[in-house]
């Protein structure tokens, strides 16, 4: 039903109704990608540079042994990278290709 209404509205009416244009969506996804990749890079650098201090703090807070933390850090970074690729980069690239 919503798709039918969306198709029937003119571009001007869609913009007035609160729909984002393709250009706005591409810009939004691009900035989301930049922010998320920056956060991933900063987190990775902090984990590399301050591994012992961060591991000590996290092991005390979470009750996890320090020997198990590198695996958890790797899982976190891998899942975050997959999420960025799936929800930010792939839609951004697809929209850039069709635009």
pLDDT values of the chain reduced to their tens digit, one per residue, 99 residues: 444 455 555 666 665 667 889 999 999 999 999 999 999 999 999 999 999 999 999 999 999 999 999 999 999 999 999 999 999 999 999 999 998
What region does 30 belong to: left with phi over 0, alpha with psi -120 to 50, or beta? alpha
Residues 6+ apart with CB under 8 A from 51: 70
Residue 31's contacts (CB-CB under 8 Å, 6 or more residues apart) are none
**From CA 13, how far away is CA 53, in angstroms rounded?**
55
- pTM of the predicted protein model: 0.78
Cβ–Cβ under 8 Å, residues 44 and 77:
yes
In angstroms, rounded to a whole number, what is the distance separating the alpha carbons of residues 10 and 13? 5
């Amino acid at each position: 039903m919503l798709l039918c209404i969306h198709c029937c509205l003119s571009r001007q009416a869609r913009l007035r109704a609160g729909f984002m244009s393709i250009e706005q969506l591409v810009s939004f996804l691009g900035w989301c990608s930049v922010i998320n990749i920056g956060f991933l890079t900063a987190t990775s650098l902090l984990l590399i540079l301050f591994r012992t201090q961060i591991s000590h703090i996290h092991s005390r807070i979470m009750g996890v042994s320090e020997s198990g933390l590198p695996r958890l850090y790797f899982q976190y970074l891998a899942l975050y990278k997959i999420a960025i690729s799936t929800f930010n980069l792939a839609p951004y690239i697809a929209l850039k290709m069709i635009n």
